[in-house]
């Protein structure tokens, strides 16, 4: 069955694609994804994919529009090369935060991007920790939303004394995600109640739950500017927490986020490699990266074998 799988990688996260290939013992298909002089994307699949089950591995991370266009053009090239089934594997689905009309005359870009991927010729989508679960319904093709929680839980159990641990959601909206992780490590749950004055800024208000003397683990899907995390860590420590860690799936880390986190009171920020870590992330004193290659590899293998993917999380 493995011989019928083809893995094609865009340029967004080559290291993760190679790690998935190593897990599956399937080399990446020969493909050229490059730019013309005017920065138009050109794709050439350099081996036969007729009748094959093809998985395109591409996060739509920074620069989001370039990587999205790469994904769409790779899918189109595969469709025209008569691939039997094309699965878009998006470890990080960009535009996911634009999942509703936040104000009058604003777009729902997550739905638009879902339409583009479907129209390009994808037969199914595989992604990790969508910002909002309902985005699965934006696609008119089968969509598997995997969870990074098992990878995080394994890391927490290996590195921490769970007797005095508390899982914390950095906002009310992330309670379901935080509770799922708390349940897996049998830890209590606290919530940071914050009020956001304007986009990109956050103000911590108060802590729901007693964190006194606890090792706190902040859990969220995306860290972008890092402001929310740093403010939450300050608030938890001010309320008597012993130390604060953060486990985040997608390290967007725009602008001066890495410097902000490095200078913060966070003991450690643990990210997955759903977005390729920058050099700044690799050398930061309190940022560590864990891999989701085996999680994605296993999901790809089960999809190819027509087996259950959801049982990965039972």
- Taking every pair of Cα atoms in the chain, the longest distance, rounded to a whole number of angstroms, is 61
Check if 2 is active-site. Answer: no
Strands 143-146 and 165-169 come out as unpaired
| Residue 221 annotated as binding site | no
Whether 220 has a binding-site annotation, put simply, is yes
234 is in an annotated binding site: no
Across the chain, how many H-helices and E-strands are there?
Answer: 9, 14
Rounded Cα distance, 169 and 174, in Å: 6
CA distances from 28 to 21, 71, 91, 116, 269 (A): 6, 15, 17, 25, 31
> Is 210 a known ligand-binding residue?
no
Is 137 annotated in a binding site? The answer is: no
- Find out whether 121 is annotated in a ligand binding site: no
User: Is 251 annotated for ligand binding?
Assistant: no
Q: Residue 85, SS3? A: strand
Is 67 in contact with 11 (CB distance < 8 Å)? Answer: yes
Known binding residue 152? Answer is: no
227 labelled as ligand-binding?
yes
Residues β-bridged to residue 9: 57
The torsion angles phi and psi of 292, rounded to 5 degrees, stand at -105, 15
**Antiparallel, parallel or unpaired: β 287-290 and 203-208:** unpaired
Known binding residue 314? Answer is no
Alpha helices, DSSP H only, in the chain? 14-24, 64-80, 109-120, 149-159, 175-185, 227-238, 257-262, 279-283, 293-304
Binding residue per annotation — 98?
yes
Categorise residue 275: left if φ over 0, alpha if ψ from -120 to 50, beta otherwise.
beta
Q: What is the Cα Rg of the chain in Å?
A: 20
CA neighbor of 211 nearest in space, from 185, 177, 234, 183: 234
Choosing from 111, 194, 267, 282, the catalytic residue is 194
User: Is 38 part of any known ligand binding site?
Assistant: yes
φ and ψ of 10, to 5 deg? -85, -165
Binding site residue list = 38-40, 97-98, 131, 171, 196, 220, 224-228
Q: Catalytic residue positions?
A: 194
Binding site residue list for Mg(2+) = 131, 171
Binding site residue list for ATP = 38-40, 97-98
Binding site residue list for D-ribose 5-phosphate = 196, 220, 224-228
């Amino acid at each position: 069955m493995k011989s019928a799988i083809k893995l094609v990688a865009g340029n967004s996260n080559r290291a993760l694609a190679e790690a998935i290939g190593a897990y599956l013992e399937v080399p990446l298909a020969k493909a050229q994804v490059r730019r013309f002089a005017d920065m138009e994307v050109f794709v050439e699949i350099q081996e036969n994919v007729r009748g094959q089950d093809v998985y395109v591995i591409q996060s739509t991370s920074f620069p989001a529009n370039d990587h999205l266009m790469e994904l769409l053009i790779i899918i189109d090239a595969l469709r025209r090369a008569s691939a039997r089934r094309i699965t878009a594997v998006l470890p990080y689905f960009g535009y996911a935060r634009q999942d509703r009309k936040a104000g009058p005359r604003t777009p729902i870009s997550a739905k638009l991007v879902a339409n583009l991927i479907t129209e390009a010729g994808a037969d199914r989508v595989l992604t990790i920790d969508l910002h909002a679960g309902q985005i699965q319904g934006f696609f008119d093709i089968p969509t598997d939303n995997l969870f990074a929680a098992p990878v995080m839980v394994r890391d927490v159990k290996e590195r921490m004394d769970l007797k005095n641990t508390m899982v914390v959601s950095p906002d009310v909206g992330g309670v379901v995600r935080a509770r799922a992780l708390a349940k897996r490590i049998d830890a209590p749950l606290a919530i940071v109640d914050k009020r956001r004055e304007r986009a990109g800024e956050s103000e911590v208000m108060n802590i729901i739950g007693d964190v006194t003397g606890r090792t706190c683990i902040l859990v969220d899907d995306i860290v972008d500017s890092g402001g929310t995390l740093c403010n939450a860590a300050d608030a938890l420590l001010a309320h008597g927490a012993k130390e604060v860690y953060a486990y985040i799936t997608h390290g967007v880390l725009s602008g001066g986020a890495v410097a902000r986190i490095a200078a913060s009171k966070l003991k450690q920020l643990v990210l997955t490699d759903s977005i390729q870590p920058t050099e700044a992330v690799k050398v930061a004193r309190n940022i560590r990266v864990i891999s989701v290659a085996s999680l994605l590899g296993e999901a790809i293998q089960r999809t190819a074998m027509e087996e259950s993917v959801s049982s990965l999380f039972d």
